[in-house]
Structure 1
Amino acid sequence: MSDSKDKTANIVHNIQSISDQQNSSTAFEIDKEIDSYVYHDKSWWHYSHFIKLHWFIFALTLSSTNSGYDGSMLNGLQSLSSWQDAMGHPKGYVLGALANGTTFGSIICIPVAAWISDRWGRKYGIAIGTSITVIGAVLQGASTNYAFFFVARAVIGFGFGITSLASPILIAEIAFPTYRPTSTAIYNVCWYLGATIAAWVTYGTRLITNSYSWRIPSYLQGIIPLCQIVIIWWIPESPRYLVSRGRIEEAKKFLFKYHTGNDTSERATNLVNFELLEIEQALELEKLNSQSKYTDFIMIKSFRKRLFLLMFTGAMTQLSGNGLVSYYLNLVLNSIGITEEKEQLQINGCLMIYNLVISAVIAFTCYWFRRRTLFLASTAGMLISYILWTILSAINQQRGFEHALGQGVLAMIFIYYLSYNTGLNGLPYLYVTEILPYTHRAKGLNIYGLTVNTTLIYNGFVNPIAMASIDWKYYIVYCCILAVEFVTVYFTFVETYGYTLEEVAAVFGDESVSKPFDQKSFEKPSSEHVEYEKNADV
């Protein structure tokens, strides 16, 4: 224990040394808050350098379209008789394995994804991941049977696993500080952009009477990754990566160009110097991260609470009933008597457009609300809509699939997704980041990701089997799960809104709070932090 304290003290000393060096070289006193250096008084679209930077960020968010495209495409393909014939009419666990193909690939790439981005840079990580995804899409389109199609999907998942790690990291590391939370949250919104594209592509290709009705959507899964391969070389490398490699001048050049518009005034120079200091301090703190252990999440009381929240939040994102519609919408529609191919594809396409709009609106406004409030509103809304969904489905089947009741179920699906997107689309990643101290953040996110992938596998195998066996009765399981989620969120989730990342440690009862920028004792949420979140210009 004393050795750990000595190491921590050394690192804090190193951080202070960096701060002293920075002070002496810049002729101004380093303040503790980024707000002291942000001097732009207009919205971002009034500045050409921000427009260009945000265009780069948008190009990076396209990485998440692949996952959305994949789920929506598979939904659409299941409605195509030509695909069913080519794959041997998969059902139950056979269909589940196919749906999980990309998940298996993503799990396999976990050991190498972070290493690639740290070793060669975020840009090269994205380039490698998208290249593998394009290869997988070509193999998928050329598939001749179930096994071929499954392997192709695993290749796609492997490539996406690398890209989905590197892209959000690069977004967070190049974004301007006050726009960083929204820029990061928008990443997951593009999941629905990919889903919308796939839904309407499969709707259009349904008119083709041969195998190209499903081959074309499969090939097109590689189009957006191919575009990213071309665009990525114009996107700048992360200044944090550059600093970690000793390329300080390149990092400073990036910050001046994209965060100040090459403004050389004193206030712009102060902003750049502060950001460089912040990066250097974070790199010093990574030495603490190397001392942390996964067993801390079990051995330390406050970390056991964090472990529970990490795993429960990850499970909620995939185990709240959304897996039924994401990959098996046709089974849900069949259960309420909507079996016509064209109508199923139209519903899939309209649902994805709806989700895209709703999730985008929420991403731009969620920072005005408390995290716990959003989780409670989300789980309550999902629970109510699922209960009504279940009741209407039961009555609909008893009455021989009346059109009006079927439309009622559809309405509940749309209401359900309004609730889901409110709390479980972009918010979970932000929340789990806030509850983790810097020393354990990377390991905590790995636990969170593993939980998400585990529940995805459950969805892939259990959902199609249960739907084929008991139809609407399976919804009762999710009603129970959602009820447990609401109660658990109410009694166990801590509020992180308004707290700095360091102050959250006190909420968990940590004995000491390490603050590299401010050593004040914890008292209450920082008013500056609250105003920062409310006024962050989107």
Structure 2
Amino acid sequence: MWHCKRPSHEIWGRTGVLKTVQPWGVFQTLCITYASEVCPVAMRGYLTTYVNFCWGLGQEIGIGVIMSMLKREDEWAYRIPYALQWMWPVPLIIGVYFAPESPWWLVRRGRLEEAKESLARLTSPELNSDFDADETVAMMVHTTALEQKTTSGATYWDCFKGTDLRRTEIVCMVWAIQNLSGNSFSNYSTYFLTQAGLDSTKAYGFALGQYGINMVGVFGAWFLMSLGFGRRSLYLYGLCALCVMLFILGFLGLVPKEHRREGSLATGSIMLGWALAYQLTVGTVCYSLVSEISTRRLQIKTVALGRMLYIVVGIVCSVLTPYMLNPGAWNWSNFAGFFWGGICFLCIIYTYFRVPEPSGRSFAELDLLFEQGVSARKFKDTEVDVFAEKVDDRVLENWEHTMGQSRVEKALVF
């Protein structure tokens, strides 16, 4: 049997990030699409962004486990962290088993009675006496019919047709920007802290605080959204703040060598500040944007495409960043901040011209805004009348064939 002779922190890498196998991306795509479909418009931004808190919690647990293994030099330094991951499947399976089915998914398959039952499980009548399940299902039917009018099918190829091409592009870019805004560079805070003379335990203590900041950032983003800040505004202004800090990190590379310790401490500290700004804005709001911008019919496919691009960009960034920082390779050190700052500036330009404001909009309203080709900068103020939009005979015939004529008429008439 192979015996590990190296400390666990060398096994896991200097960033302190416990990398998970990418098939977990399946859950990343499913959870935000499910969250966006089972909650009302007012709660959509909170529940979808809560996903990021869960990621932060998992990373926090991972760092804590690694810290506890730092002193071990036997094979259990890596076996224990792997084995502890088996504690999650049982509670996850139980939660998934009892979770109600998405009412949107049921409506798209003509199972209206089951959709109403699912809505009943998702609401509390004693707290919301004005809720009408029939009216909500009718809105879902109308929205789905409108999407059938503008979307020819529900395949991956349809994600690149008509107005859905624009929506797919935005979802892909919004997720890719998470990596392009300098996220991979910020993960090396422990590297700069060890360069400043801190031992591994203290450096990982900073990493533990960094992922704690990630969770706090989600609640901070909720607070900002409750004050009326839109998704687009938080995403755009967050990128501006990140860009400034990346350039500051670059200028810290000009610190003389005799003050290397102070420069490395300053770099590590600013990276913690960068992490807070990132989680307050880009890192958290991204989950809400990608779940809201795509159509209901193509949502899971659009989000999956976006996640694929995120992974590809993440791989490229993860390969480039060690070369930038490694003294035996390119040895850019802090000057890598200039590179990522420049990329982040390009992301700001893209966000300003292409990313719209979806907050407060129903899915039907978003469909019409995209169909009408409204500029991203005018999404927030443009008024649309969902029920003024007629559904053509072909769409109605399809729905009548699926659901029955009387049920279609009942659903579409208020």
How big is the shift at 1:200?
Answer: 1.5
Q: Which residue of 2 aligns with 1:341?
A: 200
1:388 corresponds, among 236, 240, 248, to: 248
Q: Which residue of 2 aligns with 1:195?
A: 59
Q: Which residue of 2 aligns with 1:235?
A: 99
1:299 and 1:259 mapped to 2: Cα distance? 36
How big is the shift at 1:258?
Answer: 3.6
Matched, 1:173 2:37: yes
1:434 and 1:264 mapped to 2: Cα distance? 24
Unaligned runs of 5+ in 2: 377-381, 391-414
1:245 and 1:484 mapped to 2: Cα distance? 42
2:345 corresponds, among 472, 483, 505, to: 483
SS at match of 2:25: helix
Question: 2:252 is matched by which residue type in structure 1?
Answer: L
Change beyond 3 A, Cα 1:437–1:283: closer
Extract structure 1 runs of 4+ deviating beyond 6 A. Answer: 262-265, 292-299
Question: 2:271 is matched by which residue type in structure 1?
Answer: I
Moved more, 285-294 or 177-186: 285-294
Change beyond 3 A, Cα 1:273–1:439: closer
SS at match of 1:210: coil
2:66 and 2:341 mapped to 1: Cα distance? 31
CA contact (8 A) 2:248 2:337 kept: no
How big is the shift at 1:455?
Answer: 0.6
SS at match of 1:221: helix
CA contact (8 A) 2:154 2:298 kept: yes
Q: Which residue of 2 aligns with 1:518?
A: 387
Q: Which residue of 2 aligns with 1:126?
A: none
Q: Which residue of 2 aligns with 1:357?
A: 216
1:378 corresponds, among 234, 238, 244, to: 238
2:7 corresponds, among 69, 77, 82, to: 82
Change beyond 3 A, Cα 1:161–1:372: closer
Q: Which residue of 2 aligns with 1:309?
A: 170
Q: Which residue of 2 aligns with 1:140?
A: none
1:201 and 1:169 mapped to 2: Cα distance? 31
RMSD of equivalent CA atoms: 3.8
Question: 1:199 is matched by which residue type in structure 2?
Answer: I
Question: 1:318 is matched by which residue type in structure 2?
Answer: N
Question: 2:76 is matched by which residue type in structure 1?
Answer: Y
Q: Which residue of 1 aligns with 2:79?
A: 215
How big is the shift at 1:503?
Answer: 4.8
CA contact (8 A) 1:320 1:481 kept: yes
2:374 corresponds, among 508, 515, 536, to: 508
CA contact (8 A) 2:193 2:265 kept: no
How big is the shift at 1:321?
Answer: 1.2
SS at match of 2:281: helix
1:279 corresponds, among 122, 130, 140, to: 140
SS at match of 1:401: helix
Q: Which residue of 2 aligns with 1:407?
A: 265
Q: Which residue of 2 aligns with 1:458?
A: 316
Change beyond 3 A, Cα 1:411–1:428: same
Change beyond 3 A, Cα 1:297–1:164: closer
How big is the shift at 1:176?
Answer: 4.3
Change beyond 3 A, Cα 1:375–1:200: same
Q: Which residue of 2 aligns with 1:416?
A: 274
2:335 corresponds, among 473, 477, 486, to: 473
5 Å-filtered alignment, 1:242-257, equals 242-243=106-107, 248-257=112-121
CA contact (8 A) 2:171 2:294 kept: no
Superposition TM-score, scaled by structure 1 size: 0.59
Question: 1:365 is matched by which residue type in structure 2?
Answer: L
1:373 and 1:246 mapped to 2: Cα distance? 37
CA contact (8 A) 1:243 1:251 kept: yes
2:9 and 2:285 mapped to 1: Cα distance? 37
SS at match of 1:501: helix
How big is the shift at 1:452?
Answer: 0.9
Change beyond 3 A, Cα 1:437–1:252: closer
1:453 and 1:207 mapped to 2: Cα distance? 33
5 Å-filtered alignment, 1:6-25, equals none
How big is the shift at 1:294?
Answer: 6.4
2:170 and 2:322 mapped to 1: Cα distance? 28
Q: Matched residue pairs, number? A: 370
Cα deviations across residues 128-160 of structure 1 (Å, max 9, x unaligned)? xxxxxxxxxxxxxxxxxxxxxxxxx4xxx32x2
Change beyond 3 A, Cα 1:310–1:169: closer
CA contact (8 A) 1:390 1:475 kept: yes
Unaligned runs of 5+ in 1: 1-79, 103-152, 522-538
Cα deviations across residues 84-109 of structure 1 (Å, max 9, x unaligned)? 77x6x989xxx9xx988x5xxxxxxx
Change beyond 3 A, Cα 1:230–1:246: same
SS at match of 2:388: coil
How big is the shift at 1:242?
Answer: 4.4
How big is the shift at 1:410?
Answer: 2.2
Question: 2:37 is matched by which residue type in structure 1?
Answer: E
Q: Which residue of 1 aligns with 2:411?
A: none
1:493 and 1:165 mapped to 2: Cα distance? 20
Question: 1:82 is matched by which residue type in structure 2?
Answer: P
CA contact (8 A) 2:37 2:104 kept: yes
1:299 and 1:164 mapped to 2: Cα distance? 25
1:174 and 1:324 mapped to 2: Cα distance? 36
Cα deviations across residues 251-310 of structure 1 (Å, max 9, x unaligned)? 433333441347997x44xx111122233345545645453776777775x666555534
Higher relative contact order (Cα pairs below 8 Å, separated by 6+ residues): 2
Superposition TM-score, scaled by structure 2 size: 0.74
Percent identity over paired residues: 19
2:133 and 2:74 mapped to 1: Cα distance? 58
1:433 and 1:236 mapped to 2: Cα distance? 19
1:228 and 1:421 mapped to 2: Cα distance? 25
Cα deviations across residues 167-200 of structure 1 (Å, max 9, x unaligned)? 2333233334532332122122221111111111
Change beyond 3 A, Cα 1:183–1:459: same
SS at match of 1:260: coil
Change beyond 3 A, Cα 1:448–1:516: farther
2:47 corresponds, among 173, 183, 196, to: 183
